[in-house]
Amino acid sequence: MCNERDKQATVIRGGRVILHSLDFESGERQLSDELCREESAESIFERRWALAMLERVLDRLRQEYELAGQRTLFDSLAGHLSGVEAEESLVDVSLRLRMSSAAVRVALHRLRKRYRHVLRDEISQTTDSPEEVDDEIRQLFEALRGR
């Protein structure tokens, strides 16, 4: 009973709080790298926003796959989302996961489709109307290209 009381007391004192490390060195390094380029503050902000948005989409997808018990599949296919050749080929992924090549291609197709859907959903939460979503997606990719 004493142990249970102690556990409950820790919750009251912030036992469920997640502590995050503040890595000032990497932040300063990133900021100095960005300031060395001849870019406006607006373009730096837009690129950071785009990267943060893509990270949120990946995190959401990762959580979905984890809840479905398919985290390994997600981790194996996430590098192939962009269409650029990844370190591990799809054939290697199929061998490692003991899936057929066709099943891996279908899983990748479904992941990309879900990625597009989640991206649209995340961006729609930042806009006032559904009509603005396509324009925001265009601006996101322009920011990533460095325009």
- pLDDT score of 40: 76
CB distance 79 to 92 below 8 Å: no
pLDDT value at 146 more than 90 = no
pLDDT value at 62 more than 80 = yes
- pLDDT score of 81: 83
CA angle 97, 101, 102 (to 5 degrees): 120
- pLDDT score of 32: 64
Is the torsion defined by CA of 80, 85, 87, 91 positive or negative?
positive
Q: For the chain, give every domain's residue range.
A: 40-145
If pLDDT is split at 50, 70 and 90, which confidence band does 112 have?
Answer: very high
pLDDT value at 57 more than 80 = yes
- pLDDT score of 111: 93
Give mean pLDDT, residues 107-119.
93
Give mean pLDDT, residues 74-86.
81
pLDDT value at 28 more than 80 = no
Is residue 98 left, alpha or beta, with left meaning phi > 0 and alpha meaning psi from -120 to 50? Answer: left
Alpha carbon 64 to its chain's center:
12
